[in-house]
Amino acid sequence: MSITYAEESNVFTLETKNSTYQMEIGKYGHLFHTYYGRNIGDSTVTYLTRGADSGFSGNCHEAYLVDERTYSLDEYKQEYPTFGSADFRSSCLAIQYGDGSRTTELRYKSHRIYGGKYELPGLPAMWGEENQWDTLEIVLEDAHFPVEVTLYYGVLSQYDIITRAVRIENHMNEPVYLERALSACVELQDYGYDMISFYGRHNMERTFQRRPLYHGKQVVDSVRGTSSHQQNPFVILCDSNANEEYGNCYGLSFVYSGNFIAETEVDQYDQTRTVMGIHPTGFRYQLEEGACFYAPEVVCAYSGAGLGQLSRNYHKACQKHLCKSKFANERRPILINNWEATTFDFNEEKLLSIAREAQELGVEMLVMDDGWFGVRNSDHSGLGDWFVNREKLPNGVEGLADKVCSIGMKFGIWVEPEMVNENSDLFREHPDWCLHIPGRKGVYSRAQLVLDMARPEVREYLFQMIGGILDCGKISYVKWDMNRHLTDVWSGILPAERQGEAYHRYVLGLYDLVNRFTTTYPEVLFEGCSGGGGRFDAGWLYYMPQSWCSDDTDAIERLHIQYGTSFGYPISAVGSHVSVVPNQQTGRVTPLHTRGVVAMSGTFGYELDITEMTEEEKEIVQAQIRQFKEDYELIQRGDYYRLTNLEENHEYAAWQFVSDDQKKALLNVVILHARANAPFITIQVKGLREEETYVCKELDITAKGAAFLYAGIPVPREKGDYISFQFHFESL
């Protein structure tokens, strides 16, 4: 059992392979945090819990009665801080009670330790066999009102993972209102840390950003209704001198696809507190008598060996204990998507011509993108009308699917279930089904509105209409898109006093619908998309094993996007394709070989009109597909190493995959800056066994692993823009 409770000292200890997490019940019942970091064995470090008689830091009533002025919640590190109880720092919980008061002070009530992993009704969460996980539940109760808060801790020892979640129960005879209900608080002893977050925009998501912490608050958040392109619900705190191989690193990943906040505060005593959960802006949740609210899961991970190991922990845990799809552990087909080739202008014969050409080159699936349904010749009409456009597809989706399958390929479709155009039959029949504020002119984006996913009738309509297409049994893949963020958030099924629940109920309804699709059609591979990477989060990964990483398909831009993505998400989740040049987003011209090298660090496919390729280009495509199939397990399941920091090294990018048994490795290099009389480049590889002998096939070099690890390999000097290389290492 990785969780213990010492009754004599009231100390809980959570132990993973390389970390220890410890907390204690204080003398007056408050739950204090004592330690999180490198494994310290069976030591108890309650001596780190200390206070001082500090001005303007108040004392709880029991401490006041005995004049114990050193006991203040404003000074102690806490497991689940609340608003109004003399802790003036960032809080996790704020409740408005029936009398209008907003003070909550939680005290220990009970706990339970058991094997296996807790579950969160209606929410995605990590999972696993009973012998893989241990769970701790700690029940806290307000000192004045009968409101209970249960803290969940799940321990996955192998990958140094500790998950956090919360259940809030109202045992009063009247409703209360949750105004802040975050999922986790992580306290660190001092403030000498950097914060790493991942910002961006549409077509440039998850850009790496590292900055030192300072006194006060630093916030990463989204109030766009989704996790967003602009900020990602994943942050890292690390030692200021931490790098890929050295230093303490703490990760927090939010398993949720809606509004979120990650707030880090350095307080007056130089302590660092990070809280994460549903964003309180726009949130006010009515909790009726006897009702429960579940706050989504946060996946915390620790590495004492740098950022690289932290990422590999997340990669393995996500692949094996987060994604529920059977495709998480199966080879996925190499596909070609027609969007950049045709946009809305296609018909059955055009798609079949792409399929025939692609099949001859080794592509395994054709995906029909936007424009196959309703009256859909632009983005101004048709969304919501999930019936076939017979002008484009006279034989219907099933007829096209039959023909594609007869060629020897699989077939997939694009959908955007959450959206509706005003110019659609659905909107004309049910204008009340979209999020809108009665009497107010709404905001439009991409000429579309957002359906209210909290409405059961909306979810049922979507399931029946889109499910009717999938029922033909010839569709092997669905790309689920979302091309705008939420505005005018008002739900017609909620009374005025409960509109603060609309954002969260939208996400719960969406999860319900996605879960219904993915469980009803387990043989269909679902890929997430939101204008590319606008909903690339752990919550979505639970249902779909991959997401389109970005609408920016430029290989050089993708290096930056995929670099940032790799810190918290596995390569197997990264949708990445080879596209045409000049690139449609940037106009850049990049060699086809380099476009392939970059796209291979993902699910791999093509996003172009393959019928317009030259014979030479087609030969390169065939070679890429053969190579990717040979390297598939190594890329998708191997350990991932970032060898260059793209924010610092503007000369070249290098990254590597190593098999679990360390018998094989693949090193990728892209030259970013062509130079006359260029300097030599030598790269030290990672992950090989020092005493084992390896051969690098491309360089025809045989040497001990130690030589490749410490002396490195020479990168050839070649002329041209954005030249790339792949080097394979194999144990003899």
pLDDT for 483 beyond 90: yes
| Residues 46, 25: Cα–Cα separation, whole Å | 10
For 32-81, write each residue's pLDDT tens digit. 999 999 999 999 999 998 888 888 999 998 988 899 999 999 999 999 99
User: Which domains, from first to last, does the chain contain?
Assistant: 3-321 (2.70.98.60), 329-631 (3.20.20.70), 652-731 (2.60.40.1180)
β partners of residue 138:
111, 151
Task: Report DSSP letters for 236-258, one per residue.
Answer: EEEETT--SSSB-EEEEEE--SS
Section 225-234 average pLDDT: 98
Which residue shows structure tokens 């808060």?
Answer: 149
* CB contact set of 460 (below 8 Å; sequence gap of 6+): none
Section 131-146 average pLDDT: 97
Q: Decide if 537 is catalytic.
A: yes
| Residues 388, 134: Cα–Cα separation, whole Å | 49
Section 406-423 average pLDDT: 98
DSSP letter, residue 702: E
The pLDDT score that the predictor gives to residue 530 is: 98
Task: Report DSSP letters for 302-343, one per residue.
Answer: EESBHHHHHHHHHHHHHHHHT--SGGGGSPPPPEEE-HHHHT
The pLDDT score that the predictor gives to residue 587 is: 97
| Residues 437, 421: Cα–Cα separation, whole Å | 17
Q: How confident is the model at residue 372 (pLDDT cuts 50, 70, 90)?
A: very high
Q: How confident is the model at residue 142 (pLDDT cuts 50, 70, 90)?
A: very high
Distances (CA, A) of 320 to 152, 324, 331, 359, 414: 21, 9, 15, 32, 27
Section 381-401 average pLDDT: 97
**Contact 191/272 with Cβ under 8 angstroms?**
yes
Using DSSP, state whether 361 is helix, strand or coil.
Answer: helix
- Cis (ω within 30 of 0) for the bond into 146? no
Distances (CA, A) of 214 to 211, 266, 628, 640: 9, 6, 45, 32
| Residues 423, 467: Cα–Cα separation, whole Å | 23
Section 696-722 average pLDDT: 96
Average pLDDT, the chain: 97
| Residues 170, 290: Cα–Cα separation, whole Å | 5
Which residue shows structure tokens 């019936």?
Answer: 387
Using DSSP, state whether 710 is helix, strand or coil.
Answer: helix
Task: Report DSSP letters for 580-617, one per residue.
Answer: -SS-TTT-----HHHHHHHHTTTT-EEES-GGG--HHH
The pLDDT score that the predictor gives to residue 647 is: 87
Task: At 593, give phi and psi (nearest 5°).
Answer: -60, -45
Distances (CA, A) of 654 to 579, 644, 681: 21, 6, 11
Which residue shows structure tokens 């197997």?
Answer: 572
Task: At 328, give phi and psi (nearest 5°).
Answer: -60, -30
Distances (CA, A) of 175 to 66, 293, 630: 35, 12, 60
The pLDDT score that the predictor gives to residue 1 is: 80
Helices 615-637 and 592-599: crossing angle, nearest 10°? 20
Q: Which of 15, 370, 416, 537 is catalytic?
A: 537
| Residues 478, 480: Cα–Cα separation, whole Å | 6
Section 602-626 average pLDDT: 97
Task: Report DSSP letters for 486-499, one per residue.
Answer: --S---TTS-GGGG
Distances (CA, A) of 590 to 235, 236, 384, 553, 671: 32, 33, 38, 11, 11
**Contact 573/526 with Cβ under 8 angstroms?**
no
Q: What is the 3-state secondary structure of 638-660?
A: CEEEECCCCCCCCCEEEEEEECC
**Contact 708/729 with Cβ under 8 angstroms?**
yes
Chain mean position to CA 422: 32
Q: How confident is the model at residue 635 (pLDDT cuts 50, 70, 90)?
A: very high
Task: At 65, give phi and psi (nearest 5°).
Answer: -60, -30
The pLDDT score that the predictor gives to residue 3 is: 97
Q: What is the 3-state secondary structure of 71-85?
A: CCCCCCCECCCECCC
Task: Report the alpha-carbon angle 254-567-511, nearest 5.
Answer: 30
The pLDDT score that the predictor gives to residue 173 is: 95
The pLDDT score that the predictor gives to residue 397 is: 97
| Residues 189, 191: Cα–Cα separation, whole Å | 7
Task: At 162, give phi and psi (nearest 5°).
Answer: -130, 120
pLDDT for 190 beyond 90: no
The pLDDT score that the predictor gives to residue 439 is: 94
Section 602-609 average pLDDT: 96
Kindly state the greatest CA–CA separation across the chain. 87
For 261-305, write each residue's pLDDT tens digit. 999 999 999 999 999 999 999 999 999 999 999 999 999 999 999
Chain mean position to CA 303: 19
**Contact 639/658 with Cβ under 8 angstroms?**
yes
| Residues 607, 690: Cα–Cα separation, whole Å | 41
**Contact 297/123 with Cβ under 8 angstroms?**
yes
Nearest Cα neighbor of 165 from 73, 300, 259, 34 is: 300
User: Which class for 55: exposed (0-12), middle (13-18), buried (19 or more C-beta within 10 A)?
Assistant: exposed
Element (H, E) at 727: strand 724-731
Do the bridges between strand 204-212 and strand 193-201 make them parallel or antiparallel, or are there none, so unpaired? antiparallel
Using a pLDDT cut of 90, give the percent of the chain over it.
96
Chain mean position to CA 257: 8
The pLDDT score that the predictor gives to residue 550 is: 98
Nearest Cα neighbor of 237 from 215, 212, 206, 216 is: 212
Dihedral sign for Cα atoms in the order 507, 509, 514, 519: positive
Q: Which of 609, 617, 721, 730 is catalytic?
A: 617
